[in-house]
Chain A
Amino acid sequence: MFLQSESETAAINMVIGASAVGARVMTSSSSPGISLKQEGISFLAGFQLPAVIVNVMRGGPGLGNIAPAQGDYFQATRGGGHGDYRTPVLAPASVQEVADLTYKAFDIADHYRTPVMILGDGMLGQMKEPVVFPEPIAKLPEKDWALHGRGDGPSRYLASLILDTTEMERHNWMLVRKYQEITANETSWEEYMTQDAQIVAVAYGTTARIAKAAIKRVRKDGVPVGLIRPITLWPFPTPALQELARRVNSFVVFEMSTGQMLEDVLLSLEGKGTVHFHGRPGGVVPTPAEFARILYREYQLKVKASS
C-alpha cells in the first residue's frame, strides 16, 4: 500500500500509526523533509516502534539544492530529533546495496523495535544499476506488542509520556541497553585493499565509490592505500579503525560535507595516527582524480618522508 501525505510531518505520523498496529512501514524524503520527520522519529524511538526512514541527502542548509551531498550525517547519526536516543543508520554505496540494506533495515527495525534510517545521497537516488532482489523472508516476525483492539484481553497503550522521573530514567537506560546490543550485533563495514595499506581512506556511500576508483589509480603507481567503508554509520565501525590504527599511521577522510563523519573517525582513533580531511560540500561531487591527488600528496608527506 502507498499513501501520499500532505507533508513530511503527516507522513511520519502515518508511519507511526501503521507501525503501531503491526505493519511493516517506511517513508522516504530528502534533507528538508527529513528535518520535518524528526519529531516523529523521536516518538518512534520513545514508543519503541519499528519503521524505516530513507533520506536521500541533498545540498543544504535550508532549501540548498538538489545535488548529491552528505551534510545530514550529524542529524542521522546523533538521533536527529529531541531526546536521548539513537537511530541505526545504514549507508548503501550501490543500487544493489540499496535493495539489500532496505531488506536489512526492516529486519533490524522489527528485531530491535526501533526506527532505522537508510542514508543515501542524490547520486545513489538517481542511479540505475542492475539489481538482484534478495529472497523475501517467508514469515514476518510476530509483533505481540502491536495494537489491534483489546478483544477479550486487557487494554494496551503505546505512550512516550513518562511523567515519573525515575521511570523515565529507567526507560532511557533500557533504551541504552538496546543500543548496546545493536552496536554489538549490527556494526558493519567493508574493507578494501587494507591488507598492505599504509594509508587508509575512510568514506561512505557515493564518496566511497569515488574513493575506490581513486585507490585503483594510485595503486597502479604503487601507492599502498586501502579503504574503510562504514556500512552502518551508527553504530560506527570503531573496532575496524582501532584495529587498523595498530599498524597504519595515516588516515584520510573523504566526505561530501565540511567534515561530519570526520568526528567519528577522530573519536574512534583516540588520537592515534594522523587524519587528513578532504570534503566537497554543497552538492559538488568530487572526482576520482581529485581524491587520487590527495592520496598521492598524503603518501609523499606522511609515508615517503618518514621512511
Chain B
Amino acid sequence: MKLLNAFPKYHKQNVVSHYCPGCGHGIVHRLVAELLEEMDLGKRTVCVNPAGCAVLAYKYLDIDMLESAHGRGTAMATGIKRVRPDLFVFTYQGDGDLAAIGTAETIHSANRGEHICVIFINNAVYGMTGGQMAPTTLLGMKTTTSPGGRNPRFEGYPLHITDVVASFPGVVYAERVAVNGPAAVQKTKKAIRTAFQCQVDGQGYSIIEVLSPCPTNWKKTPKESFEWVSEVMMKEFPLGVLTDKRGGGA
C-alpha cells in the first residue's frame, strides 16, 4: 500500500510545522523537496535559508543548509557556487530579506549572473517580526508600520524587484507565480523546475517569485488570504514569465 500524503525524500518525515495555517512557506518547501528528488539534485544541494519565518527551513528540508544573515543569502550562495561549481545552490528568501535589506546583494548577484537559483517568497509583509510594511506591501495596505495604509507619498510604491533583475542580461529565467490553489501550486512547481534546470544546464541565474499568503499578518482566514492573492495582489504583481533567455534566445 502506498501512503499518498507521505513527505518526499528531501523533506523531513514526521515533523510538525511551525508555519501558521494557510501559510505559503510550507507549500513551497514541499515543492522544492519534491523537485530535488525528481531531478535527482538533493544529494549535491546546498540551500541558503534566510532570516525570516523560513529561518527554520532546516527543520523541514532534509538537505545541507546554511543560514544567512538577513538579506545576505545571494552573497553567501555566490561564495558557495564559486568555490564548488559542482554543487546545486539555491537561496530561499522573503521579501523583507531579498527586496529591502538584501537589495544590493540581490541586484549584484543577479547582475553577475551567478549560477544560482533564487526562490523569493513575496507575502507583502515582514512575516516573522509581526507584519511590518515590506517593500512589496501594496498601496493602501494596512500593516503595523503603515497603520493608515501604505501611502506612496510617504512610503513609496511596491517594489517590483523581480522585474528589475529580469532586465539584466545575466538573469536567464524569471517568473512570478502563486500558491493559492491547486492549479497555482502546480504552475509554481513547473516554474521552480525550469529555474532549477537552468542551473543544471549551466545557463545561469534564475529567480522565481512566489506570491504567498501570510494569513496571520494579513489578519485574514486562510481562505480569505487565498482569495486576496488572486483578487488584490495579482493586480499589482501579475503572474507570468518575466524573462526567458535560455539557450541564448531573448
Residue of A15, A17, A158 ringed by the most chain B CB atoms within 10 A: A17
B42 within 8 A of partner (CB): yes
B67 within 8 A of partner (CB): yes
Measured in the bound complex, the distance between the Cα atoms of B61 and A147 in whole Å is 15
- Contact residues of A with B, CB < 8 Å? 1, 3, 5-7, 9-11, 13-23, 25, 39-40, 43, 47, 147-152, 155-161
Determine whether the beta carbon of B75 is less than 8 Å from that of A17: yes
**Nearest CB in chain A to that of B75: its residue:** A13
Q: Which of A6, A15, A157 touches B67 (beta carbons < 8 Å)? A: A157
Using Cβ atoms and an 8 Å threshold, which residues of chain B touch A160? Answer: 67
B197 within 8 A of partner (CB): no
**Nearest CB in chain B to that of A154: its residue:** B62
Using Cβ atoms and an 8 Å threshold, which residues of chain B touch A22? Answer: 83
Determine whether the beta carbon of A150 is less than 8 Å from that of B42: yes
Determine whether the beta carbon of A10 is less than 8 Å from that of B84: no
Determine whether the beta carbon of B66 is less than 8 Å from that of A157: yes
Using Cβ atoms and an 8 Å threshold, which residues of chain A touch B64? Answer: 147-150, 155-157
B229 within 8 A of partner (CB): no
Determine whether the beta carbon of A43 is less than 8 Å from that of B69: yes
Determine whether the beta carbon of A148 is less than 8 Å from that of B63: no
Cross-chain pairs A/B with CB under 8 angstroms, 11 sampled? A3-B82, A17-B80, A147-B46, A147-B66, A149-B43, A149-B46, A149-B63, A150-B43, A155-B65, A156-B64, A158-B67
Using Cβ atoms and an 8 Å threshold, which residues of chain A touch B66? Answer: 16-17, 20, 47, 147, 157-158
* Known contacts A7-B104, A148-B64, then 6 further A-B pairs from the complex at CB < 8 Å, ordered by chain A residue: A10-B72, A10-B105, A149-B42, A156-B64, A158-B65, A161-B56
Using Cβ atoms and an 8 Å threshold, which residues of chain A touch B61? Answer: 155
Q: Give residues of chain B (64-117) contacting chain A, Cβ–Cβ below 8 Å.
A: 64-69, 72, 75-84, 87-88, 104-105, 107-108
Determine whether the beta carbon of B43 is less than 8 Å from that of A159: no
Using Cβ atoms and an 8 Å threshold, which residues of chain B touch A43? Answer: 69
Known: A149-B45, A157-B58. A14 touches B76 (CB 8 A): yes
Closest chain-B Cβ to A292's Cβ sits at a distance in Å of: 48
- Contact residues of B with A, CB < 8 Å? 10, 42-46, 48, 55-56, 58, 61-69, 72, 75-84, 87-88, 104-105, 107-108
Measured in the bound complex, the distance between the Cα atoms of B48 and A160 in whole Å is 13
Determine whether the beta carbon of B79 is less than 8 Å from that of A13: yes
Determine whether the beta carbon of B62 is less than 8 Å from that of A149: no
Using Cβ atoms and an 8 Å threshold, which residues of chain B touch A7? Answer: 104
Q: Which of A6, A10, A21, A157 touches B87 (beta carbons < 8 Å)? A: A21
Known: A1-B82, A14-B76. A39 touches B69 (CB 8 A): yes
Measured in the bound complex, the distance between the Cα atoms of B105 and A39 in whole Å is 14
Using Cβ atoms and an 8 Å threshold, which residues of chain B touch A157? Answer: 58, 64-67
**Nearest CB in chain A to that of B109: its residue:** A10
**Nearest CB in chain A to that of B59: its residue:** A157
Closest chain-A Cβ to B94's Cβ sits at a distance in Å of: 15
Using Cβ atoms and an 8 Å threshold, which residues of chain A touch B108? Answer: 5-6, 10
**Nearest CB in chain A to that of B42: its residue:** A150
